[in-house]
């Protein structure tokens, strides 16, 4: 088996200017080949976002001094990829099957994790629909105005304005990134 080498220091430095270094593209191909679903990244700190059995996992951009920060299965996946091993991902389709169509559509669009805290949905933490601009503030029922949140975050966001919700999300994600 051919081992795929992790990015060199030079390549990692280059990743600051290049959005898709070769090793990242190879990693994404490896993820797809192993059954994970590569998702579109949602902010500049993310290098790779994918969905596997444990919901959404993310590789964050490194700052040159530290290795990439990994969440969920990303660390295991990156290690397996670097060692030339395979890893079998089964997508969380059984999670989706029982939810109403609009929830499934939102999971397809955003992945199966809370819009605010990023926790993957599961039996104990089912998705709830969240209107970003709340209906009491005149927000439309259209799917573009909706996201999925876990129950605790949905209650916490309550009647916040859209700007306050974005701040809450940034704050929760920041805690996750540095925690
Ligand atoms: Zn949450």
Distance CA 92, CA 166 (A): 27
Q: Domain ends where: 82, 117, 135?
A: 82
How sure is the predictor about 15, in pLDDT bands with cuts at 50, 70 and 90?
Answer: very low
What is the domain extent for residue 72?
A: 9-82
Distance CA 160, CA 165 (A): 6
CB 115 within 8 A of CB 148: yes
pLDDT greater than 50 at residue 16: no
Residue 122 CA to ligand 1 centre (angstroms): 12
Looking up residue 49, the CATH number of its domain turns out to be 3.30.310
Regarding whether 40 and 97 lie in a shared domain, the answer is no
pLDDT greater than 60 at residue 89: yes
**Which residues are CB-neighbours of 27 under 8 A, at least 6 positions away?**
48, 59, 77, 78, 81
Residue 82 CA to ligand 1 centre (angstroms): 32
CA-derived radius of gyration, the chain: 17
Q: What is the pLDDT, as a whole number, of residue 178?
A: 61
Residue 116 CA to ligand 1 centre (angstroms): 5
pLDDT greater than 90 at residue 152: yes
Tens of pLDDT along 112-139?
889 999 888 877 889 999 999 988 888 9
Q: What is the pLDDT, as a whole number, of residue 8?
A: 59
The average confidence (pLDDT) of the chain is 82
Looking up residue 148, the CATH number of its domain turns out to be 1.10.30.50
Residue 7 CA to ligand 1 centre (angstroms): 33
Percent of the chain, pLDDT > 70?
80
Q: What is the pLDDT, as a whole number, of residue 90?
A: 72
Beta bridge partners, 163, equal none
Model confidence pTM above 0.85: no
Helix and strand counts by DSSP (H, E) for the chain: 7, 5
Regarding whether 174 and 98 lie in a shared domain, the answer is yes
Residue 62 CA to ligand 1 centre (angstroms): 25
Domain count along the chain: 2
pLDDT greater at residue 91 or residue 72: 72
Residue 128 CA to ligand 1 centre (angstroms): 10
Of the listed ranges 66-70, 82-86, 156-160, the least confidently predicted one is: 66-70
């Amino acid at each position: 088996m051919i081992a795929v080498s992790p990015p060199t220091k030079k390549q990692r430095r280059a990743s600051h200017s290049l959005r898709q270094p070769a090793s990242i593209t190879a990693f994404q191909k490896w993820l797809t080949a192993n059954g994970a679903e590569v998702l579109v990244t949602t902010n500049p700190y993310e290098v790779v976002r994918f969905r596997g059995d444990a919901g959404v996992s993310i590789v964050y951009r490194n700052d040159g001094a530290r290795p990439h920060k990994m969440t969920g299965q990303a660390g295991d996946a990156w290690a397996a990829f670097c060692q030339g091993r395979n890893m079998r991902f089964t997508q969380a389709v059984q999670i989706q099957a029982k939810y109403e169509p609009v929830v499934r559509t939102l999971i397809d669009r955003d992945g199966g994790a809370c819009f605010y805290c990023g926790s993957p949905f599961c039996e104990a933490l089912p998705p709830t629909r969240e209107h970003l601009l709340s209906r009491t503030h005149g927000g439309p029922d259209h799917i573009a105005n909706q996201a999925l949140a876990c129950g605790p975050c949905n209650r916490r966001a309550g009647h916040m304005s859209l700007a306050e919700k974005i701040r809450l999300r940034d704050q929760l994600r920041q805690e996750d990134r540095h925690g």
